[in-house]
Amino acid sequence: MPFRSVFRSLQAISTAMPMPWWRESAADRSRILRRFWWDGVLARLSDAFVVDYVPLFALTMGAGPREIGWLNGLAQLIYAALLIPGARLAERWGHRKALVMVSVALARANLLLWALMPFFLSGSPAVRLIVLTGALRVGLWGLGLPAWTSLVGDWVPREIRGRYFGWRNIGSGLAALAGVAAAGAMITALGGVQGYQAAFAIAFLVGGIGWMLFASIPEIGSGMVRGKQLPPWRQVRQQPAFLRYLAMAGAWNFAVFSAGPFFNVHLVQNLKADARTVGLLSMVSTLTALIGQWVFGRWSDRIGSPRGLLWAGVWIPLLPWAWLLARSPWHVLPINALAGFLWAGFELCSLNTLLTFSPPETRPRYAALYNLISGISAALGAATGGWIAARWGFYPLFALSGFGRALAIGIYRWKVLPCLSEGDLQKPSGSERDRSELVPSG
């Protein structure tokens, strides 16, 4: 089917939905937020069969550290290249939900390709295809992310974002907990490439169910500011707090992605863990992330997401340094336990902090700029990390990653927070009754 026909079909789906949630009853609003909650659960369950195992799948097919570094680096480059077009399309075309659905459908099609690829390809050609399609799977999300961020800001009122996303992420974390365990056990039991093929096929099916559920959520308005000239990009760049936030994001993602793709590779190659052990250790971080979502979801609504981001991020530099002390797979258990808790809080507060910076009518471009800087720096970090790992090994890489994270959170503490007003740092106004009727009970 031609690309334009796909957009027209999805546009018809988007416009055939009920009226916006602010014109509906409390029960209708709650139903819409529950659908979004289930969408997150199914998306995370699908990813649980993929994210931790793509580097291991590449290793099984013959890849080395350099190829894994290129996979992550190329993914971030594609991701960054599609962010600005995605923001412009979201603002000018206006059908944000359809744009998200297209990007997700194209990205998940690669899972089916991986499930079938070992039947007809192996060796260096297979590795190159994994690198290319793996990069596309991550990179295509850049096309829909500005639109998704804009939708999130409209769907979830500001006064309940911490609690709502906390509960949404708890549900997603439980799904990931089950998915990672099942995938690890299945890959180990089937052995070799067959286990990865089964995992990717399941991920494709579960993701398809979530994709159809997302299609049933109504879009709020058109997402387009009609009859009005939107402010130019330079107006965004003139905001000092946002510019410094971009500088922090760049330094942070460079440091994180320089080492991030190689923790599980180090766990398998040097600490001699198998796929089942990788899955079990990932379950530990997923379990503690549930606690982190609950704690930071409530806490950030009280102290404000910008401050919650600081309290989570200030401890994260310790994590790669702790890996320097690990001498067996089970030494990683306390590291992953702390990582799950801290990263849950950081990611929750990071999204809500970005929403604090961005006005609703131009939110796609703010999201695009933030993720563009994050994507470019992550791509450079992954490529640099692959070079360092191939030349000097994993331990110098982990040490440098910790120093880079500490530098980035220092920029945030002393250069970003002082630029924010007290109103941005505090809990927004809103009655307890309004919040309680919008937060789903499960």
Contact 184, 275 (CB under 8 A): yes
Highest mean pLDDT among 175-184, 403-412, 413-422: 403-412
Contact 110, 167 (CB under 8 A): no
In this model, does residue 184 exceed pLDDT 70? Answer: yes
Q: What are the structure tokens assigned to 407, written together?
A: 């530098």
Q: Which domain holds residue 149?
A: 30-218+232-428
- Residue corresponding to tokens 């000018």: 92
Looking at the chain, the number of H-run helices and the number of E-run strands are 20, 0
CB–CB of 348/170 below 8 Å?
Answer: no
Q: In terms of Cα–Cα distance, which of 91, 94, 93, 87 is closest to 144? A: 87
Cα 27 to Cα 19: distance, rounded to the nearest angstrom: 14
pTM exceeds 0.85, yes or no: no
- Across the chain, what does the average pLDDT equal? 78
Whether 327 maps to a domain, the answer reads: yes
Q: Nearest Cα to 269, choosing from 128, 57, 126, 59?
A: 59
Quick one: which of 125, 100, 93, 80 has its CA closest to 39? Answer: 100
Compare 233 and 380 and report the one with higher pLDDT.
Answer: 380
Q: Is residue 257 part of a domain?
A: yes
Residues 6+ apart with CB under 8 A from 377: 249, 250, 251, 252, 253, 254, 257
User: Distance between the two ends of the chain, CA-based, in angstroms?
Assistant: 39
pLDDT per position as a tens digit, 352-384: 888 777 776 677 778 888 888 887 888 789 889
The answer to whether residue 439 is domain-embedded is no
Tell me, what CATH number does 281's domain have? 1.20.1250.20
Inside any domain, residue 398:
yes
CA 42 to chain centre: 14
Is residue 10 situated within a structural domain? no
pLDDT at 250: 93
pLDDT of residue 336 exceeding 70: yes
Averaged pLDDT, 408-424? 78
Q: Do the beta carbons of residue 290 and residue 170 sit within 8 Å?
A: yes
Cβ neighbours around 360 below 10 Å, total: 12
Is 59 domain-assigned?
A: yes
Could you tell me the two tokens for 95?
A: 């059908």
- Asked if 159 and 297 touch (Cβ cutoff 8 Å), the reply is no
Cα separation, 91 vs 95, whole angstroms: 8
- Look at residue 1 and tell me if it is in a domain: no
Residue 415 DSSP class = I
Total domain count for the chain? 1
* Residue 433 counted as domain residue: no
| Length of the chain measured in residues | 442
Residue in 212, 220, 160, 217 with CA at minimum distance from that of residue 36: 217
| Highest mean pLDDT of the ranges 235-249, 320-334, 346-360 | 320-334
How far does CA 95 lie from the centroid of its chain?
Answer: 22
CA distances from residue 212 to 9, 169, 435 in whole angstroms, order as listed: 13, 20, 28
**What pLDDT is recorded for position 195?**
86
DSSP 63-129: --HHHHHHHHHHHHHHHHHHHHHHHHHHHHH--HHHHHHHHHHHHHHHHHHHHHGGGT--HHHHHHH
Q: What is the pLDDT of residues 341-351, one digit of tens each?
A: 999 889 888 88
pLDDT of residue 16 exceeding 70, the answer is no
